[in-house]
Structures are given as structure tokens and as C-alpha cells.
Amino acid sequence: MRNMKMITAVAATLLLSGGAAYAASAEKGKVAFGKNGCWQCHGWEGQGGNAGPKLARTQLPLEAVMTFVRATNGPMPPFSKKVLSDEDLTDIYAFISAQPAPPDPKTIPLLAR
Ligand code: HEC
């Protein structure tokens, strides 16, 4: 009986601490995006550039982004946990996901003919 209580307590602690998702911050993500040089290829807002595709409002789930950034062996260099922590990458994900949609071109006077 005593053991049961112990197990329940441990399980509850795990659920409340280890199991709790990291609270991502788009603001911190913007800083990490700059610090880690993602902007050099993807643009400051993740809008895409000459050297990297658009990341803003990515449709990829966080897990896919994590896996890709850690293990890419294509034109993008991989970022290990040593140089970019899971927390920072989760913040970066929040930052690129929070980018606003671009305005409708019809609403931009310069583009009107
Ligand atoms: C040296 C240029 C470069 C840097 C620096 C760089 N990337 Fe990339 N990234 C790329 C290129 C090129 C691709 C497309 C690669 C491919 O398809 O294999 C890519 C693809 C990605 C993708 C997949 C996008 C998709 O929709 O398929 C993600 C996510 C990503 N980068 C995140 C990051 C993050 C986060 C950082 C900073 C920690 C970063 N990248 C830094 C060049 C770069």
C-alpha cells in the first residue's frame, strides 16, 4: 500500500515536471534565430532568401523541424544540441510560426497598375 502511494507520487511528479511541455517564446526565438545565424540563409523574418527557403508560418510540426535541423546533410548545415538547445529551437519554431501572413498584393498601391 505504501509502495502504491509512492508510485502515484512519483508518477504525479513526472507528469507535472518532466512531462510538462516547454513554454515556447516567439520573442526569445527571434533572438535565437539571430544568434544562430538562421537569418543568413532564411532571412530575418524567416521569409526565405537566396540561400534558404521560407520558414515563416511553416506547416511542418515541431518534431519534423527538430529532426531536420539536427540531422540535415544537404545544403543546410546541421545544428547539434550542443550549439542549439531543444529549448532555443522550440523558441525559434514559435517565432517562425508566429509570423503574420503577407498582405494581399492588391492592397499595396505600388503594385497597382
Ligand atoms: C547556410 C545556410 C543555412 C543556414 C545558416 C540555416 N539554414 Fe535552414 N535551410 C537551408 C537550406 C538550403 C534549406 C533547404 C535544405 C533542404 O531542403 O535540404 C534549409 C531548410 C530548413 C528547414 C526545412 C524547411 C522546409 O520547409 O522543408 C528548416 C526548418 C530550417 N532550414 C531551419 C533552420 C534553422 C532553425 C536555422 C538556424 C538554427 C537554419 N535553418 C539555418 C539553409 C540554411
Among 18-27, 29-38, 93-102, the range scoring the smallest mean pLDDT is 18-27
Helix (H) or strand (E) holding 31: helix 26-35
Class of domain 23-101: mainly alpha
Mean pLDDT (the chain) is 88
The residue to mutate among 30, 33, 35, 42, having the most atoms of ligand 1 within 8 angstroms of its beta carbon, is 42
What is the residue extent of each domain of the chain?
Answer: 23-101
Reduced to 3 states, what is the DSSP secondary structure of residue 30? helix
- pTM to 2 decimal places: 0.84
Q: pLDDT grade, residue 8 (50/70/90)?
A: low
User: pLDDT tens digit string along 40-78?
Assistant: 999 999 999 999 999 999 999 999 999 999 999 999 999
Q: Which of the 8 DSSP states describes residue 18?
A: T
Evaluate if residue 103 carries a pLDDT over 70.
Answer: yes
The residue to mutate among 39, 40, 55, 93, having the most atoms of ligand 1 within 8 angstroms of its beta carbon, is 55
Q: pLDDT grade, residue 96 (50/70/90)?
A: very high
Q: Which of the 8 DSSP states describes residue 107?
A: G
State the cell numbers at 78: 546541421
Is the model more confident about 13 or about 87?
87
